[in-house]
C-alpha cells in the first residue's frame, strides 16, 4: 500500500478516507485484477527448501482461490463463487487500474485541499 500511497505520515483525521479508498478501490483491484507470483517449494538433496517463482504460477488472488480444490470451503457465509465472478468480470484489468488511479488522485486532492485550508 505504501508503494501506491507513498511513505509520508497520514494524519489521523484523514485515516477514514484512506481506509475507504482501501476498501472500495485498492483491495478489489489487488484481489481481482493485479497478478501475484505464488511460490513453488523445491527441496534439494540435503533437505533445504527453496522457493521458486515461475510465470505459470502468476495469477490474481481470485484465480488462485479458484485453482484450489473445493474453493467454496474458504468463503465466508453469504459469499458465493458466482458473486466473486461478477465482481471479477465487472471491468477489465485496465479499466480497474484507471479507476484506481482516478480514485487515488481524488483522495490526494481532497487531503491536500484540507491541509492547505
For residue 87 the three cell numbers come to: 465482481
Strand partners, 58: 37
Rounded to whole angstroms, what are the CA distances from 104 to 17, 44, 113? Answer: 11, 45, 14
User: Per-residue pLDDT for 117 more than 60?
Assistant: no
Q: pTM for this one?
A: 0.81
**Total number of domains constituting the chain:** 1
Going by C-beta distance under 8 Å and a sequence separation of 6 or more, which residues neighbour residue 5? 18, 104
* pLDDT for res 10: 79
Which spans in the chain are helix H? 2-5, 15-21, 27-32, 61-67, 81-89, 93-116
Cα(63)–Cα(85) distance, integer angstroms: 10
pLDDT band at 110 (very low <50, low <70, confident <90, very high): confident
- 28-51 pLDDT, tens digit each: 999 999 999 999 999 999 999 999
pLDDT band at 107 (very low <50, low <70, confident <90, very high): very high
Domain ranges, residue 94: 2-116
% of the chain at pLDDT higher than 70: 95
Amino acid at each position: 500500500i505504501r508503494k501506491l500511497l507513498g511513505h509520508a505520515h497520514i494524519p489521523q483525521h484523514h485515516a477514514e478516507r484512506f481506509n475507504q479508498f482501501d476498501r472500495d478501490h485498492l483491495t478489489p483491484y489487488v484481489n481481482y485484477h493485479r497478478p501475484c507470483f505464488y511460490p513453488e517449494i523445491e527441496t534439494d538433496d540435503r533437505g533445504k527448501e527453496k522457493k521458486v517463482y515461475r510465470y505459470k504460477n502468476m495469477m490474481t488472488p481470485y484465480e488462485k482461490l479458484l485453482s484450489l480444490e473445493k474453493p467454496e470451503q474458504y468463503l465466508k457465509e453469504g459469499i458465493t463463487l458466482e458473486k466473486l465472478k461478477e465482481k471479477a468480470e465487472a471491468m477489465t484489468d485496465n479499466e480497474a487500474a484507471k479507476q484506481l488511479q482516478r480514485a487515488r488522485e481524488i483522495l490526494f486532492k481532497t487531503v491536500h485541499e484540507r491541509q492547505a485550508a
